[in-house]
């Protein structure tokens, strides 16, 4: 690979790139790697504000397919580039990410949008540099969707923020929740070596990062593939890193949340008092049909243990309404669970049929209208809970990290370890720093605090 030739071509033409990212933090982090590879090769990030008419020279769509509307959006956005590509054949269009791993998708895109230059899958990111070389220098078209188990270390990363960073600790998923496409598009579960993760986070702390978010579809089963590390052990090690202040992770699967993990969360001062613990449904019948491998009672017992050992821990969740066969009674079980737990926030979704998953073939698919009504009722209840719980934050103390200066010059915005937005008196030098604050006023949307 003649990287000098590519670099030379890219820089002498001042080539720019733009990445459109859909989906979860995994994809956001993959986009940081794509940006890292591009900048290493001389590309500049396209600046929307300064180029009103000229589009970027390389446009990338990093796709998601977890729910159906994602597909429609991506297709619309690729289609919208048809004319620009006709007027400027040198423009490069690339499509990658989870959607590309779906059967027949590459052919479908090639047929509908033959002008797309590069299509590659979630296991081919390490070859992206080669693809851009082949397209720009050799004028080829690329169609590469492979399966793979390898973990590629040391890809360049251009991080979106300079105080807060992502680190993937595991790839793929083996849980096969019956509604979910992720195991099919991200492959089998595999964990990074603990040493590699620790090295990366140490390096980040040295560069001045204070917050790390560890990523995986089920971080609680980290290390399961025989590399002799466990998630609690990883957390204990990371908690010792100087300079690091906030350790976050997602997602935790309730079936694998151990007592040891709860204890480690309670003991390690850098681990944020927050857990994202998707419940999906409050009905045991539906949980079984979803293949979630825990009961409503088990979930509630986890919440009880978490709150007993970590007072004021924020619990956030994901919930699906309208799973096949969900009755009004099942749905009311979900509402009641929501009332019992009182989540800090909930990401709520209408069930979306994903071809190839078990649930797609289940009987009693729920009418769209009913799904919409249930979603509406669920969101109304969650909003009510957030309103009701807001005053409870007054006089509480919590750790926050300042991330932005507000328009009013003497005010800054911060994110609390419990995910709440907090406003403080302050100035720009506070950005990226962590403070212990006391809450003075509380609204549903945000808290107002003083440094103590
Ligand atoms: N690994 C994580 C979540 C991955 S996807 C976990 O196990 O919780 C993020 C969320 O999307 C899921 O928690 C689920 O609530 C939602 N989701 C996944 N598949 C879906 C589908 N087919 N329809 C609607 N929502 C879905
Ligand atoms: Fe999907 Fe379940 Fe895996 Fe989460 S744990 S990614 S919901 S299969
Ligand atoms: Fe994430 Fe969507 Fe893929 S949720 S793992 S980007 S299917």
377-425, pLDDT tens digit by residue?
999 999 999 999 999 999 999 999 999 998 877 999 999 999 999 999 9
Number of neighbouring beta carbons within 10 Å of residue 384: 13
pLDDT at 54 (0 to 100): 81
Decide if pLDDT at 51 tops 80. no
Task: Lowest mean pLDDT of 59-63, 188-192, 276-280, 379-383, name the range.
Answer: 188-192
pLDDT at 69 (0 to 100): 86
pLDDT at 22 (0 to 100): 95
Q: Residues 301-354: pLDDT tens digits? A: 999 999 999 999 999 999 999 999 999 999 999 999 999 999 999 999 999 999
Q: Is the dihedral of CA 353, 358, 363, 364 positive or negative?
A: negative
Q: Residues 94-153: pLDDT tens digits? A: 999 999 999 999 999 999 999 999 999 999 999 999 999 999 999 999 999 988 888 888
**What average pLDDT score do residues 363-375 get?**
97
Helix (H) or strand (E) holding 259: helix 259-267
How far does the centroid of ligand 3 lie from the alpha carbon of residue 213, in Å?
Answer: 17
**What average pLDDT score do residues 59-68 get?**
96
Specify which residues 96 forms β-bridges with.
62
Number of neighbouring beta carbons within 10 Å of residue 319: 23
Which residue has the least CA distance to atom 8 on ligand 1? 278
Eight-state DSSP code of residue 41: T
pLDDT at 227 (0 to 100): 63
**CB-based pocket (< 6 A), ligand 3:** 23-24, 26-27, 64-66, 98, 182, 185-186
Mean pLDDT of the chain: 95
Q: How far apart are CA 355 and CA 291, in angstroms?
A: 17
**What average pLDDT score do residues 196-203 get?**
97
Decide if pLDDT at 53 tops 80. no
How far does the centroid of ligand 3 lie from the alpha carbon of residue 218, in Å?
Answer: 13
pLDDT at 225 (0 to 100): 62
pTM of the model: 0.95
pLDDT at 226 (0 to 100): 63
Regarding the beta carbon of 175 and ligand 2, being less than 6 Å apart is answered yes
Which residue has the least CA distance to atom 4 on ligand 2? 217
Number of neighbouring beta carbons within 10 Å of residue 442: 20
Helix (H) or strand (E) holding 39: helix 25-40
Ligand 1 atom closest to the Cα of residue 359 is 22
Best residue among 218, 257, 287, 293 to mutate for probing ligand 2's pocket (most ligand atoms within 8 Å of CB) is: 218
Best residue among 187, 290, 320, 379 to mutate for probing ligand 1's pocket (most ligand atoms within 8 Å of CB) is: 320
pLDDT at 246 (0 to 100): 97
92-97, strands of its sheet edge to edge? 44-45, 16-21, 58-63, 92-97, 118-120, 142-144
pLDDT at 445 (0 to 100): 84
């Amino acid at each position: 690979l003649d990287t000098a030739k590519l670099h030379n071509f890219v820089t002498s033409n001042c080539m720019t790139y733009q990445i459109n990212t859909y989906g979860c933090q995994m994809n956001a982090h993959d986009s940081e790697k794509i940006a890292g590879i591009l900048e290493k090769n001389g590309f500049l990030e396209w600046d929307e504000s300064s180029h009103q008419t000229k589009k970027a020279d390389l446009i990338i769509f990093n796709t998601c397919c977890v729910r159906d509307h994602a597909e429609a959006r991506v297709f619309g956005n690729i289609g919208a580039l048809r004319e620009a590509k006709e007027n400027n054949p040198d423009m490069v269009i690339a499509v990658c990410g989870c959607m590309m791993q779906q059967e027949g998708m590459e052919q479908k895109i090639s047929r509908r949008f033959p002008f797309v230059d590069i299509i590659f899958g979630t296991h081919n990111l390490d070859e992206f540099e080669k693809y851009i070389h082949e397209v720009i220098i050799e004028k080829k078209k690329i169609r590469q969707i492979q399966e793979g188990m390898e973990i590629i270390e040391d890809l360049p990363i251009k991080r979106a923020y300079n105080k807060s960073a992502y680190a993937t600790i595991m790839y793929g998923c083996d849980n096969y929740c019956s509604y979910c496409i992720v195991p099919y598009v991200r492959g089998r579960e595999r964990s990074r070596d603990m040493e590699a993760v620790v090295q990366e986070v140490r390096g980040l702390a040295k560069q001045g990062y204070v917050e790390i978010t560890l990523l995986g579809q089920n971080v609680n089963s980290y290390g399961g593939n025989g590399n002799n590390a466990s998630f609690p052990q990883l957390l204990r090690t990371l908690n010792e890193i100087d300079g690091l202040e906030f350790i976050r992770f997602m997602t935790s699967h309730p079936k694998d949340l151990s007592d040891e993990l709860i204890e480690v969360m309670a003991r390690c001062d850098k681990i944020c008092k927050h857990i994202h613990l998707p419940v999906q449904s409050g009905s045991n019948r539906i949980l079984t049909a979803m293949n979630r491998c825990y009961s409503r009672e088990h979930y509630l017992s986890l919440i009880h243990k978490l709150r007993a050992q970590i007072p004021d821990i924020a619990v956030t969740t994901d919930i699906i309404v309208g799973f096949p066969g969900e009755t009004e009674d099942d749905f009311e079980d979900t509402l009641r669970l929501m009332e019992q737990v009182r989540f800090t926030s909930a990401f709520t979704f209408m069930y979306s049929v994903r071809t190839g998953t078990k649930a797609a073939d289940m009987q009693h698919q729920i009418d769209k209208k009913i799904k919409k009504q249930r979603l509406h009722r669920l969101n109304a209840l969650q909003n009510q809970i957030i309103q009701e719980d807001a005053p409870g934050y007054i006089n509480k103390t919590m750790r926050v990290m300042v991330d932005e200066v507000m328009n009013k010059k003497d005010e800054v915005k911060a994110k609390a370890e419990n995910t709440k937005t907090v406003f403080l008196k302050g100035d720009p030098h506070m950005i990226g720093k962590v403070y212990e604050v006391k809450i003075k006023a509380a609204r549903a949307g945000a808290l107002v605090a003083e440094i103590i």
